[in-house]
Structure 1
Amino acid sequence: MSDERLSVLKTYKLYVGGAFPRSESGRVYEVTDSKGAWLANAPRSSRKDARDAVVAARKAFGGWSGATAYNRGQVLYRVAEMLEGRRGQFAQEVAAAEGISRSKAAALVDAAIDRWVWYAGWTDKIAQVVGGANPVAGPYFNLSTPEPTGVVTVLAPQASSFLGLVSVLAPVIATGNTAVVVASEASPLPALSLGEVLATSDVPGGVVNILSGGTAEIATPLAAHQDVNGIDLTGADADLAKELEIAAADNVKRVLRPRADDWSTDPGTRRLTAFLETKTVWHPTGKLGTSGASY
């Protein structure tokens, strides 16, 4: 028997609604490393794929946002456990995507896993930071609590294929939103592999949906979609970000504008609060009754 064998090349697919469909259009595009060497064919998502992802995210929103914050934290921590078990694969993909050494890529993967754990720990704490009891002049309790915005489109960073991706995705779902992620156009493979981890974790299908292809082609219908409640423009250049922000205004989406981010620094709570709404409840005290009103 010959010692030579054919390589089994990986087929990358989209991750939508907990399943792995090919692009509805059947299109793919070549993904290359920093030196131009071919790595894989990635699906080129269509407008129909984007709409399907929104439908899946909306369907999953009720169950995910309705889960206890503690439960969401446990589910997200399980993802970190599974990422830890696939460090080697992600280090290889990041090294190829970003043109860095394997050791530097491994350090970025470790940082991404640590960041995922960090955001998982915030799930049941953010309410105490941004919510609370408010002093009012009257016989009332006045309580403010954060609630998720809904379906959020996330344009992943173009240059940071994994650490940046985790840094923009994890806070969105940690706070109870569901996400439609547009992966880095040139370096989508770590994002598509993350879909494989999510599919075998406890994260319900549809909570995270991952699309690859042309950023502008996918993001344009998502920004205008009436069932998308927020959009993170991190992965858009200045001209595209302006166009998407205008489209997003049609149904008053929450918009997180792009800025120069250093993904290696402490992220703070900015992204945790970017897609949260504040619900304020008034509840009478004393002899006025027991019914309350919320606004």
Structure 2
Amino acid sequence: MNAVDVAVRLSVFKTYKNFVGGKFPRSESGRVYEVSSAKGQWLANAPRSSRKDARDAVVAARKAFGGWSGATAYNRGQILYRVAEMLEGRREQYALEVAEAEGLSRGKAAAQVDAAIDRWVWYAGWTDKIAQVAGGANPVAGPYFNLSTPEPTGVVAVLAPQKSSLLGLVSVLAPVIATGNTAVVVTSEDRPLPALSLGEVLATSDVPGGTVNVLSGRTAEIAPTLAAHMDVNAIDLTGAPADLAAELEAAAADNLKRVLRPGADDWSADPGTARLTAFLETKTVWHPTGPLGAGGSSY
């Protein structure tokens, strides 16, 4: 037996980074903070994102918006399904991360991961159907076609749930991008690791860079920058405590952002379509009808 056989091997600890613009940068400030398990055991250091990190993420999301919103709904559905496929392939890794973050048994954590995978599939199936539900032809008085169609709002800041580190995160993120928006996600403050790892899945799932940007850190430090940012079109306050939510809602009023207020969400319940329509705008088009040559066209 040689020295190699008896040597004690040191573990290789994972370095967690933000996910911005399809890349994995550290916080520009160089800061990190300690993340512990539900039992108080140190797990890793996570980036403590700054206000500049938030602004950089908004720039990346805005740059990606045209391409993502302009993709066909069918193509977006294919990409969301690909995310589910990739997450399925790393199921054991995520089950361990969720178990440590939330203090669950491996079996219960695996069930949470399975539900998160199924949720990606659910929203993948809705990408090319929500227009029929949220849009339609409107009866009007006069010789016109009047058609309403849903369009994405734009860049959406998402404050992820604080306690549900993966299923809750997917439940608030997937409907935002399914409908053509781009997202800047602020992870759970105390349980950020599954969300940061999700960035690795998104990076290998054909999701265009900048479509989803993931920042970890102190919610109260990052969120005000996003709420007041004039290039953010909407904000989901799910992960904000009540006092901070009121402050963010006031800041969001400066450019008339859409605001989704936090509620008592049951992430295991049927998600329905409420979150799909939360960040959609309605475009209504009037078109004259009548015989050709009389100022209109017939279909």
Q: TM-score range by the shorter chain?
A: over 0.9
- Rounded Cα–Cα distance in structure 2 between residues aligned with 1:41 and 1:274: 34
User: Which consecutive aligned stretches of 4+ in structure 1 deviate over 6 angstroms post-superposition?
Assistant: none
Q: Which of 219, 238, 243 lines up with 1:234 in the alignment?
A: 238
1:153-186 Cα offsets, whole Å, 9 max, x none, are 0000000000000000000000000000000000
Deviation of 1:289 (Å): 2.5
Partner SS, residue 104 of structure 2: coil
Q: Which of 201, 204, 228 lines up with 2:205 in the alignment?
A: 201
Query: TM-score, normalization: structure 1?
Result: 0.98
**Aligned residue-pair number:** 291
Correspondence for 1:222: 226
Q: Which of 4, 16, 20 lines up with 2:8 in the alignment?
A: 4
Correspondence for 1:38: 42
Correspondence for 2:252: 248
Amino acid at match of 1:239: D
Partner SS, residue 117 of structure 1: helix
- Rounded Cα–Cα distance in structure 2 between residues aligned with 1:72 and 1:159: 28
Correspondence for 1:289: 295
- Rounded Cα–Cα distance in structure 1 between residues aligned with 2:81 and 2:165: 21
> Which runs of 5 or more residues in structure 2 are unaligned?
none
Correspondence for 1:78: 82
Correspondence for 1:274: 278
Amino acid at match of 2:197: S
- Rounded Cα–Cα distance in structure 1 between residues aligned with 2:173 and 2:87: 15
1:248-294 Cα offsets, whole Å, 9 max, x none, are 00000000000010100011111000000000000111144348xxx
Matched, 1:147 2:151: yes
> Which runs of 5 or more residues in structure 1 are unaligned?
none
Query: TM-score, normalization: structure 2?
Result: 0.96
Matched, 1:110 2:100: no
- TM-aligned CA distance change 1:139 to 1:219, over 3 Å: same
- Rounded Cα–Cα distance in structure 1 between residues aligned with 2:161 and 2:18: 18
Q: Which of 24, 29, 34 lines up with 2:33 in the alignment?
A: 29
Partner SS, residue 160 of structure 1: coil
Deviation of 1:4 (Å): 1.8
1:190-209 Cα offsets, whole Å, 9 max, x none, are 00000000111100000000
Partner SS, residue 173 of structure 1: helix
Deviation of 1:16 (Å): 0.1
Deviation of 1:3 (Å): 4.4
- Rounded Cα–Cα distance in structure 2 between residues aligned with 1:249 and 1:113: 35
Amino acid at match of 2:210: G
Correspondence for 2:51: 47
Amino acid at match of 1:15: F
1:19-62 Cα offsets, whole Å, 9 max, x none, are 00000000000000011110000000000000000000000000
Deviation of 1:132 (Å): 0.4
Amino acid at match of 1:57: A
Q: Which of 161, 166, 182 lines up with 1:162 in the alignment?
A: 166
Correspondence for 1:129: 133
- Rounded Cα–Cα distance in structure 2 between residues aligned with 1:226 and 1:22: 25
What CA RMSD, in Å, does the superposition of the two structures yield over aligned residues? 0.8
1:43-83 Cα offsets, whole Å, 9 max, x none, are 00000000000000000000000001011000110110000
